Amino acid sequence: MTSMSSDTKSPLHHSFAQVEIPDDDILTQCMHCGLCLPVCPTYSLVGIERSSPRGRIRLIKENAAGRLSLTETFIDEMYFCLDCQACATVCPAGVNYGQLVEAARAQIYESKKESGFWLKKFFFRQVFTSFKRLKFLARLLRLYQKWFEPFLKRIGLFRIIPERLVRMQELAPRISDHFFDETISEKTLPTEQPKYRVGMLSGCLMNVMFADINRDTLEVLLHNYCEIITPREQVCCGSLAAHNGDFEIAKKLARQNIDIFFRLNLDAIVINSAGCSAFMKEYAQLLHGDEKYREKAARITGLTRDVHEFLMEIDFKKPVSPFQSKVTYHDACHLVHTQKISAAPRDLIKSIPGVEYVELDEASWCCGSAGIYNLIRYNDSMKILDRKVKNILQTGADILLTGNPGCMGQIAYGLKKANSPMQVMHPITLLNLAYKNSVRNDQ
């Protein structure tokens, strides 16, 4: 998705003078067949050609040729797009749409014309580049969520707080009581002889907001004879910065992670967040023009595995005792479209005795989270979410499973709005519960 050409001489490219540019063959590859239209969430909302993948490709081509400047309409369309990659899945020409839209966003970022540019720049460059600063802010947010938020609700001040701020509070996942990296050793060994030596990306948001899922992942890997290395020095994978146009910071973070994981002599790098694993699999493309890091980046890309993918590869241990539950599964876009992983999570879920699996209608339709999309384009995000929640409720499931934290938070928010008691859970959490149930029944 992030592969870029270094040729800047073509007349197509003069509008991309400040950023790395997409290859000409990608710019001209779209056949305008229209197969992308039915799967595009934004086109389904407005029915306007420019809000479809092929419409946006046309805008990018016009901009690259110098016939269209960075107008408000152009900028709005590039960020109206969820970058869900559903179009790439159905495209018969194999257009790398993600590369095009991210190149356009990089150009917008460099121009500083995007709304909220300086706030984004602060978070990407000052917060996500430092786990120390990220955890400091997370502790402040945890303090607010535990004490001040309930107090403000109790005395009625929420009624005078701007609606947008209230929505942001409701959408924000709860900060974990204990951050994952502060509760484990850098090296964790199984009780039996290890068969695999794996690195674990604790993640930035996973570390402070979804620490329990990280612990479930650690326990599942230990149950499957893995020696686990969780490097203390690791940093954010860089995906949020890249998807919002800041490739300079994305590359800086990628190089740091490559240096850290490359020296560990690993069999795999296992990741439980679809967005993170998708982006680390793109390190080779991201740094293909960097002579110092090209080979190391390719090595890290080759080692990176989504946790479902890894468990299926090693023929993971199946739980033996029944765990009664009715579940359904939502395909995270960064799993099903970017990594082409669809069967592995379903096979893992269906391997658990006692689980009744119900296939979700439009399972691969985006939930509308898309990184920070639900914060900056709330109304559009909610329209997309409503369609997803309607399909989820029709399954009658007790648990909605999905492999990405953004999807989990978004769908939980939608189910709460719909007054549904349905739980939202990572498949690895369900598997770990099944393992623990088997152990209890053996005692």
Q: CB of 341 within 8 A of CB of 374?
A: no
- The enclosing domain of 340 has a CATH number of 3.40.50
Q: CB of 335 within 8 A of CB of 275?
A: no
Q: Which range marks the domain in which residue 348 is found? A: 325-442
User: At residue 6, does pLDDT exceed 60?
Assistant: no
Query: What are residue 410's phi and psi, to 5 degrees?
Result: -65, -50
Clarify whether residues 19 and 34 are in a common domain: yes
Give the model confidence (pLDDT) of 37-59 as tens digits.
999 999 999 999 999 999 999 99
Clarify whether residues 276 and 130 are in a common domain: yes
For residue 144, the model assigns a pLDDT of: 87
In a domain, 433, yes or no: yes
Clarify whether residues 103 and 143 are in a common domain: no
Q: What's the rounded Cα separation, in Å, for the pair 229 and 213?
A: 17
Give the model confidence (pLDDT) of 108-155 as tens digits.
888 877 777 778 788 888 888 888 898 999 999 999 888 888 887 788
Give the model confidence (pLDDT) of 305-323 as tens digits.
999 999 999 999 999 988 9
User: At residue 173, does pLDDT exceed 50?
Assistant: yes
User: At residue 378, does pLDDT exceed 70?
Assistant: yes
Q: CB of 229 within 8 A of CB of 263?
A: no
In a domain, 145, yes or no: yes
Clarify whether residues 147 and 249 are in a common domain: yes
Give the model confidence (pLDDT) of 218-274 as tens digits.
999 999 999 999 999 999 999 988 888 889 999 999 999 999 999 999 999 999 999
In a domain, 3, yes or no: no
| Residue 395, both tokens | 């399954």
Q: Which region holds residue 330: left if phi is over 0, alpha if psi is between -120 and 50, else beta?
A: beta
User: At residue 277, does pLDDT exceed 70?
Assistant: yes
Pick the closest to residue 103 from 254, 280, 246 (CA basis). 246
**Strand ordering across the sheet containing 325-329:** 355-357, 325-329, 399-401, 423-425
| Residue 258, both tokens | 């490559």
Give the model confidence (pLDDT) of 197-207 as tens digits.
999 999 999 99
User: At residue 165, does pLDDT exceed 90?
Assistant: no
The 10 Å Cβ neighbour count of residue 261 is: 22
In a domain, 437, yes or no: yes
Q: Count each helix (H run) and each strand (E run) in the chain, helices first.
A: 24, 9
How many structural domains is the chain composed of? Answer: 3
Clarify whether residues 242 and 151 are in a common domain: yes
For residue 14, the model assigns a pLDDT of: 40
Q: Which region holds residue 85: left if phi is over 0, alpha if psi is between -120 and 50, else beta?
A: left
Per-position DSSP letters for 190-228, written without gaps between them:
-SS--SEEEEE---SHHHHH-HHHHHHHHHHHHHTTEEE
The verdict on pTM exceeding 0.75 is: yes
Clarify whether residues 152 and 95 are in a common domain: no
pLDDT band with cut points at 50, 70 and 90 for residue 16: very low
- The enclosing domain of 102 has a CATH number of 1.10.1060.10
Residue at which a domain ends, from 288, 317, 346? 317
Clarify whether residues 171 and 279 are in a common domain: yes
Q: What's the rounded Cα separation, in Å, for the pair 61 and 397?
A: 45
